[in-house]
């Protein structure tokens, strides 16, 4: 699929801008702070209803305006769909698909698929385990929307169970018995929701792994990378089905119960797991060089792109300011990948950052104005 | 901020569920402009609801007097007991006209976040009612959300030794709806709970 048209009104630093995009590579060039990333962010917003840079909607609206509007025309399997989003901070956003109002804004999800790589993604390798769990979970939801419900369920059970453990724990420290009568029930629900999420992650990882290994090999020109799922449940068979994982979770919860009551938190479950990344024999986090970390983070994103493409529609590849961070060989290899995509939207500060092999449209972005070169 | 009494009314109204600051202000000015007999009727109605209406000693439903209308009704069966979270759930089930047994209102669902455990609900009263073995079926009609499910599971385990027939309301597709309008969770549940079609 590809984005044929993008138009923004009162979005970030833009009063109004409109771009007609071709399939293949599209390069947005401009100095820092001119609004390149804002356009990439707008496309990402249509795909995910969220920004990769901020949590709330307020910064997305131009200072002084009440609401922002993003319109896109997406071509999917030869058919064009128009998606219009109206972003009003503090109020419900509105969506239109082919000019008809959508009943729920969420209905827009899944029409446009994107894989975005931005400098922030370095946290995938260097950041806390939470970053890697979020990466897995978000990709999981993108492939199978029902996991959005599973994730929400798990978070809710976890909060309830932690609240119970916390109250019981402080009651015990004060010398009382502490009410743990309902803990078995929460164990059951936690194991059930946790097993569903875990099974989903394991299946995803099995599908993703070969793509990551291949992408890293290409980018770094050799070099072994390895992904393992470190579960907080001991002796977890990665091939196990949901019921077996549920049983294992329940057993483990029983084993750590005394410790959990003492500390007042849930110690076992997918929220404590880690996606372990290795380069060669060493863990990437803490050991990999800056360049290696970049290549690995990029490999994870390119692998997502490949996996989603293998499911059906090719997503749109968004590369925000990445070329400048890579050496010449890696730039050339990434350029090869980008030009092979049905559409890749690339931002760069100067033309020279982008390898000359990347042909296609060029736009110049300056102070919230866009001009085709 | 308004002058004393007006602000007091706005603050009090703002504490009600479902009323925000803007709504509270609107109601307050409506009352200020309204006829004093209308306001008097509202005050009297509020006073009466606190003075005369209490909770049924048996089931916990709202009642005028010791027992509610349903617990007093001799035509209803004593063998089936339906457990609900709130009195408003009874009203919803009564509208169906399908259920002729009795009710038991818990007064909420188990939710440690809000500090609600079995002791904050009318669970002990339920156990007392089940003692004498007149009830043979217990219907768990708590809400189909996480807290409701947890409450149902807890109660089912608690009454297991009593050998009752414990049932849970089905979850699934709304009647008269279209399949493609159902969300994934509901449709998934409906698949799990599918039934054989007798022909």
User: What's the whole-model pTM score?
Assistant: 0.83
Domain membership flag for residue B131: yes
pLDDT number for residue A206: 94
Instruction: Give the percent of chain A with pLDDT over 90.
Output: 61
Give the nearest partner residue to B150 out of A163, A179, A189, using CB atoms.
Answer: A189
Give the DSSP per-residue string, A311-370.
Answer: HSSPPEEEEES-GGGS-HHHHHHHHHHHHHSSEEEEEESSGGGS-TT--SEEEEEETTEE
Q: Partners of A229 in the beta sheet?
A: A275
Q: How far is A186 from chain B (nearest CA, A)?
A: 7
Instruction: List the alpha helices (DSSP H) in chain A.
Output: 36-48, 123-126, 129-143, 147-173, 183-220, 242-255, 257-263, 284-287, 290-311, 328-340
Which residues from B are below 8 Å from A181, CB to CB? 117-118, 154
- Are B117 and A163 within 8 A, CB to CB? no
Residue carrying the six token digits 């054989």? B196
Element (DSSP H or E) covering residue A9: strand A2-11
- Measured CA to CA, the distance from residue A150 to residue B100 in angstroms comes to 37
B140 and B88 fall within a common domain: yes
In a domain? residue B118: yes
Closest-CA residue of A relative to B153 is A185
> Which residues are CB-contacts of B100 (< 8 A; sequence separation ≥ 6)?
B75, B76, B77, B80
Q: Tell whether B83 and B30 lie within a shared domain.
A: no
pLDDT confidence bin for A115, thresholds 50/70/90: very high
Percent of chain A exceeding pLDDT 70 equals 100
- Closest residue of chain A to B111, computed from CA coordinates: A160
CB atoms inside a 10 Å sphere around CB A196 = 21
The answer to whether B25 and B10 have CB atoms below 8 angstroms apart is yes
Q: Are residues B132 and B79 in the same domain?
A: yes
Strands of the A225-230 sheet, one edge to the other:
A225-230, A274-279, A282-283
Express each pLDDT in A229-253 by its tens digit. Answer: 998 887 777 788 888 999 999 999 9
Q: Taken in order A336, A339, A344, A345, is the CA torsion positive or negative?
A: positive
**Contact (CB, 8 A) for A246 and A296:** no
Cα A291 to Cα A295: distance, rounded to the nearest angstrom: 6
Q: Is the minimum CB–CB distance between B119 and chain A shorter than 8 Å?
A: yes
The answer to which of A65-69, A146-150, B26-30 has the lowest mean pLDDT is: A146-150
Is there a domain that residue B198 lies in? no
Test mutation, B115, B146, B187, chain A, max A CBs within 10 A:
B146
- Where does the pLDDT of residue A52 fall: very low under 50, low under 70, confident under 90, or very high at 90 and above? confident
Distance between CA A268 and CA A186 in Å, rounded?
13
User: How many CB atoms sit inside 10 A of residue A132's CB?
Assistant: 22
Q: Which of A177, A185, A194 to mutate to test the interface with B (most CBs of B within 10 A)?
A: A185
Q: Are residues B102 and B78 in the same domain?
A: yes
Give CA–CA dist B151/B117, Å, rounded: 9
B112–A160 CB contact, under 8 Å: yes
pLDDT tens, position by position, A149-179: 889 899 999 999 999 999 988 888 887 777 8
What average pLDDT does chain A have? 90
Q: Report which of A345, A294, A342, A359 is spatially closest to residue A124, judged by C-alpha positions.
A: A294
User: What domains can you pick out in chain A, each with its CATH number?
Assistant: 1-113+313-373 (3.40.50.300), 128-312 (1.20.1050.90)
Q: Are residues B48 and B80 in the same domain?
A: no
Q: Are residues B23 and B103 in the same domain?
A: no
Q: Which two three-digit tokens encode residue B70? A: 């349903």
Whether B181 maps to a domain, the answer reads no
Task: Quote the pLDDT of residue A170.
Answer: 85
**Mean local confidence (pLDDT), A3-30:** 94
Kindly state the average pLDDT of the residues A294-317. 92
B101 and B151 belong to one structural domain = yes
Structure confidence at residue A326 as a pLDDT band (50, 70, 90): confident
**Is B192 part of a structural domain of the chain?**
no
Pick from A99, A85, A23, A76: nearest CA to A51: A85
Count of C-beta atoms within a 10 Å radius of residue A153? 21
CB contact under 8 A, B112 and A156: no
Q: Does B5 touch chain A (CB under 8 A)?
A: no
Residues B75 and B136 both lie in one domain: yes
Best of B112, B178, B180 to substitute, by most chain A Cβ atoms within 10 angstroms, is B112
Environment class of A369 (CB within 10 Å of its CB; exposed 0-12, middle 13-18, buried 19+): middle
Domain CATH number, residue B96: 3.40.1360.10
Same domain, B112 and B28: no
Strand ranges across the sheet with B80-84: B102-105, B80-84, B137-140, B165-168
Please answer whether residues A215 and A221 qualify as being in contact, where contact means their C-beta atoms are separated by less than 8 angstroms. Answer: no
Question: Taking CA A320 as the corner, what is the angle to CA A318 and CA A322, rounded to the nearest 5 degrees?
Answer: 115
User: ∠ at Cα A57 (A51, A60), nearest 5°?
Assistant: 75
Q: Whole domain around residue B22: which residue ranges?
A: 4-54
The predicted-structure confidence for B16-75, as pLDDT tens digits, reads as follows 988 988 899 999 999 999 999 999 999 999 998 888 888 999 899 998 888 899 999 999
A182 closest CB neighbour out of B146, B149, B154:
B154
B76 inside domain: yes
Q: What is the mean pLDDT of residues B148-152?
A: 94
Any residues with CB less than 8 A from the CB of A327 and at least 6 apart, and which?
Answer: A291
In a domain, B128, yes or no: yes
A-chain residue closest to B116, CA distance: A164
Question: Nearest CA of chain A to the CA of B41: how many Å?
Answer: 37
How far B123 CA sits from the closest chain A CA (Å)?
13
Contacts with A161 from chain B: Cβ below 8 Å: 112
Tens of pLDDT, residue by residue over B155-197, are: 999 999 998 899 998 888 888 878 887 777 778 778 877 888 8
The CATH number of the domain holding residue B14 is: 1.10.8.420
The answer to whether residues B50 and B116 belong to one domain is no
B111 vs A146, A153, A160: nearest CB: A160
In terms of domains, do B153 and B73 share one?
Answer: yes
The whole-angstrom distance between A180's CA and the closest CA on chain B is 9
User: Is the domain of B97 the same as that of B26?
Assistant: no
Task: State yes or no: ipTM above 0.90.
Answer: no
Percent of chain B with pLDDT over 90: 62
Which two three-digit tokens encode residue A161?
């169970």
pLDDT at B193: 78
Cβ contacts of A163 on chain B, cutoff 8 Å: 112-113
Interface of chain A toward chain B, CB-CB under 8 angstroms: 145-146, 149, 153, 156-157, 159-161, 163-164, 167, 179, 181-182, 184-186, 188-189
Number of domains in chain B: 2
Select from A145, A146, A164 the Cβ nearest to the Cβ of B112. Answer: A164
Task: Evaluate whether residue B161 is within a structural domain.
Answer: yes
pLDDT of A256: 92
Alpha-carbon gap, residue A82 to A75, rounded angstroms: 9
């Amino acid at each position: 699929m590809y984005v044929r048209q993008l138009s923004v009104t009162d979005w970030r630093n833009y009063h109004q801008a409109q771009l007609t995009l071709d399939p293949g590579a599209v390069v947005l060039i401009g100095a820092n702070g001119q609004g390149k990333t804002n356009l990439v962010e707008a496309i990402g917003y249509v795909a995910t209803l969220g920004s990769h840079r901020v949590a709330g909607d307020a910064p997305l609206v131009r200072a002084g305006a009440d609401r922002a509007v993003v319109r896109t025309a997406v071509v999917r399997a030869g058919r064009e769909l128009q998606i219009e989003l109206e972003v009003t901070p503090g109020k419900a956003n509105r969506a239109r698909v082919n000019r008809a109002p959508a009943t729920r804004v969420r209905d827009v999800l899944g029409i446009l698929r994107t894989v975005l790589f931005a400098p922030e993604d370095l946290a995938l390798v260097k950041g806390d385990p939470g970053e890697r769990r979020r990466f897995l979970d978000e990709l999981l939801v993108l492939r199978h929307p029902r996991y959005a419900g599973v994730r929400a369920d798990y978070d809710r059970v976890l909060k309830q169970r932690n609240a119970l453990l916390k109250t019981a724990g402080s009651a015990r420290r004060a010398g009382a018995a502490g009410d743990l009568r309902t803990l078995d029930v929460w164990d059951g629900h936690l194991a059930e929701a946790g097993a569903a999420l875990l099974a989903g992650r394991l299946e995803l990882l099995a599908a993703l792994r070969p793509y990551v290994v291949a992408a890293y090999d290409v980018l770094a020109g050799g070099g072994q990378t390895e992904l393992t799922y470190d579960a907080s449940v001991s002796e977890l068979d990665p091939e196990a089905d949901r019921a077996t994982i549920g049983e294992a979770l329940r057993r483990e919860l029983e084993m750590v119960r005394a410790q959990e009551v003492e500390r007042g938190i849930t110690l076992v479950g997918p929220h404590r797991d880690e996606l372990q990344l290795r380069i060669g024999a060493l863990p990437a986090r803490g050991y990999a060089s800056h360049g290696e970390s970049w290549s690995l983070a990029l490999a994870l994103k390119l692998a997502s792109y490949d996996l989603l493409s293998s499911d059906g529609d090719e997503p749109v590849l968004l590369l925000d300011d990445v070329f400048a961070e890579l050496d010449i060989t890696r730039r050339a290899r990434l350029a090869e990948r980008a030009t092979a995509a049905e559409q890749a939207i690339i931002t760069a500060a100067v033309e020279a950052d982008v390898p000359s092999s990347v042909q296609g449209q060029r736009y110049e972005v300056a102070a919230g104005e866009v001009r085709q070169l | 901020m308004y002058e004393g009494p007006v602000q007091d009314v706005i603050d009090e109204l703002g504490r009600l569920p479902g009323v925000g600051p803007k709504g509270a202000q609107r109601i307050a000015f409506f009352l200020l402009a309204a006829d004093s007999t209308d306001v008097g009727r509202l005050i009297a109605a509020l006073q009466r609801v606190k003075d005369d209406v209490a909770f049924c000693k048996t089931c916990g439903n709202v009642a005028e007097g010791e027992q509610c209308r349903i617990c007093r009704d001799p035509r209803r069966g004593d063998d089936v007991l339906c457990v609900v979270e709130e009195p408003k759930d009874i009203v919803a089930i009564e509208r169906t006209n399908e259920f002729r047994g009795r009710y038991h209102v818990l007064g909420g669902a188990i939710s440690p976040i809000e500090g609600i455990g079995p002791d904050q609900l009318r669970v002990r009263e339920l156990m007392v009612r089940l003692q004498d073995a007149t009830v043979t079926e217990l219907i768990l009609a708590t809400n189909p959300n996480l807290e409701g499910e947890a409450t149902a599971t807890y109660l089912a385990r608690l009454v297991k030794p009593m050998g009752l027939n414990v049932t849970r309301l089905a979850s699934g597709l709304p009647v008269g709806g279209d399949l493609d309008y159902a969300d994934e969770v509901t449709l998934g549940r409906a698949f799990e709970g599918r039934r054989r079609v007798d022909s």
